[in-house]
Amino acid sequence: MCKALPLTLTLAALFIPVFCAFGDDFSAGPFFDNFPLTLSPGERTEIMGPFYYHQQNGSEKTVAFPPFYSHDVIPDIDATEINALYPLFTYVKYGTQWRAQFVELISFSGGLDPDNLNRHRISFYPFYFQQRSPDTNSNYTAFFPFYGHLKGRIFRDKIFFVMFPAYSQTQKRDVINDNYLYPFFNVRHGDGMHGWQFWPFYGSEHKVVTTLTNNWGDVQTNGGHDQYFVLWPIHLRETGGIGTASPEQFRADLPFFSWYRSPARDSTSVLWPFFNWIDDREKKYHEKELPWPFIITAHGEGKTALRVFPFFQKAHNATFKDNFYLWPIYRYNSVYAPPLDRRRTRVLMFLFQDTYEKNTATGKDEQRLDLWPLFNYHRDLEGNSRLQILALLESFVPGSPGIERNWSPLWSVWRYEKNPTTDANSESFLWNFYRRDASPGQKKISFFFGLYQYQSNQNQGTKKVRLFFIPVINRQPVHSS
């Protein structure tokens, strides 16, 4: 056990002689405590309350100095995660892939891409972007706003710019856009398509019907379209799906009216976006919004809804439900799409949350309760449960490893865990100022910096009590001759 203590930790060194003398039953929480994990095989050592811990959970090892630093390693899957003042700095590695970032403005990443080439990226957002790979065709460098090339960034296949916004060119699939004094003047072309605009005064685009052969050798038809605008977004016209079985038409003179027509759906708006009528023949429902978003009614097989915002809403279809009363005081939504059965209740958004999920195929379920900032409770699919008091950030980012490792220890003044498989449970108050660990036939209690300690093992017939670290009861098993 002594070898498990990090020798580089000065505070830990103070407890090494005492710990080695007493063995596994030594406790001096919150200065020092070592105990087995309740919810999984392993052990954890905590020193100086919430400011240092290291934990072994199977092959997973975690070392942390909350809130400044945490380092988690899982050798079995070659995974590593480092957080410093999370989320300011993070480093994540999984196999050959890795990424490091500082407040999402400076980032470095690398690893093997789908073509098994080692690719590296550098980003100093929004000024500098770089990618290097053995495939020089995928390399790029961009120094914004002066000059640069980008590939596979910002939802575009390619981007090129010179003295942006003076000139830029973007490509997505076959469509190429040339922008001059972005966003004012634009010329674009693609497969059977061409268009231009002088925004916001006038723009137009035309595409003819084209065909495409897919991976199975089938020929698919890509519909054409015609569209233009005058004084965007006031006067808009668009005809789509030309040459297909589903032609579409859209007309708008905003904010006075707009309408959309297709074989599957019709919609009409007056004084957009307030008064709307929708006839969705594909999903089989009719909807009226009079005015949106305050009063909405919908009926049909695909959707049934009644909303009088902010007083109440009841909306559902075959899969989803979304109800609220006196929004945002109470809201309930659910999704039932076997094997997923998920239900969520919220009061005042994040103040109280109750999330329940069930796998209908296996019958296993889990539940999470949050009452901000008082507590967080979670029961997983295996029945393991954990209660934490207080919980200042957990309600906003549930299940975040960075929050759980770097921040939760600082304010989790009470922790309770229970494992139904092993029938073990534990509780800790004020960072082990009081701690109790129990499992069938065994119990260990430590209180007041370890000045009171109790330990018993009914299976071995032992019982130990220490006051001020002095043994007052030390019952050993009796062996018959």
pLDDT in tens, 447-469: 999 999 999 988 888 999 999 88
State what percent of residues in the chain have pLDDT above 70. Answer: 94
- Closest by CA to 139, choosing from 128, 131, 147, is 131
Q: How far is CA 114 from the centre of its chain?
A: 24
DSSP character for 318? S
Give the whole-angstrom CA distance, residue 275 versus residue 255.
11
DSSP-assigned beta bridge partners for residue 476? none
CB 220 within 8 A of CB 232: no
Tell me the three state secondary structure of residue 320.
strand
CB 372 within 8 A of CB 350: yes
Work out the pLDDT band at 131, boundaries 50, 70, 90.
very high
Q: Which whole-number Å values give the CA distances from 216 to 174, 219, 220, 453, in the listed order?
A: 21, 9, 11, 72
* Burial of 232 (C-beta count, 10 Å sphere; 0-12/13-18/19+): middle
For residue 365, count other CB atoms closer than 10 A to its CB: 15
Give the whole-angstrom CA distance, residue 16 versus residue 25.
13
Work out the pLDDT band at 4, boundaries 50, 70, 90.
very low
Among 117-121, 156-160, 472-476, the minimum mean pLDDT is found in: 472-476
pLDDT tens, 354-402?
A: 999 999 999 999 999 999 999 999 999 999 999 999 999 999 999 899 9
**Quick one: average pLDDT of 421-430?**
96
Pairing verdict, β 235-242 and 42-47 = unpaired
Alpha helix segments (H runs only) across 259-418: 401-406, 408-411
Q: Which amino acid is at 151?
A: K
For residue 471, count other CB atoms closer than 10 A to its CB: 11
**Quick one: average pLDDT of 171-199?**
95
Residues composing the chain: 481
- Closest by CA to 171, choosing from 161, 183, 159, is 159
Q: Which whole-number Å values give the CA distances from 102 to 91, 93, 107, 168, 396, in the listed order?
A: 9, 15, 6, 28, 21
Q: Which of residues 21 and 293 earns the better pLDDT score?
A: 293
Give the whole-angstrom CA distance, residue 119 versus residue 108.
11
The set of long-range contacts for 380-384, using a CB threshold of 8 Å and a minimum separation of 24, is: 382/420, 382/421, 383/420, 383/421, 384/39, 384/417, 384/418, 384/419, 384/420, 384/421
Q: Flag whether pLDDT at 166 surpasses 50.
A: yes
H/E run at residue 186 = strand 185-190
The pTM (predicted TM-score) of the whole model is 0.83
**Quick one: average pLDDT of 211-227?**
84
Work out the pLDDT band at 479, boundaries 50, 70, 90.
low
Work out the pLDDT band at 1, boundaries 50, 70, 90.
very low
Q: How far is CA 283 from the centre of its chain?
A: 31
Q: Flag whether pLDDT at 431 surpasses 50.
A: yes
Q: Which whole-number Å values give the CA distances from 475 to 47, 234, 459, 465, 468, in the listed order?
A: 29, 89, 13, 9, 18
Q: Flag whether pLDDT at 269 surpasses 90.
A: yes
pLDDT at position 19: 52
pLDDT tens, 24-68?
A: 567 898 999 999 999 999 999 999 999 999 999 989 999 999 999
**Quick one: average pLDDT of 293-301?**
95
Q: Flag whether pLDDT at 216 surpasses 90.
A: no
DSSP character for 459? T
Give the whole-angstrom CA distance, residue 296 versus residue 308.
7
* Burial of 140 (C-beta count, 10 Å sphere; 0-12/13-18/19+): buried
Cα torsion 390, 399, 314, 299 to 10°: value is 180
- Closest by CA to 179, choosing from 190, 201, 164, is 164
Give the whole-angstrom CA distance, residue 101 versus residue 89.
6
Mean of per-residue pLDDT scores for the chain: 91
- Residue 260 tokens, joined: 């959309």
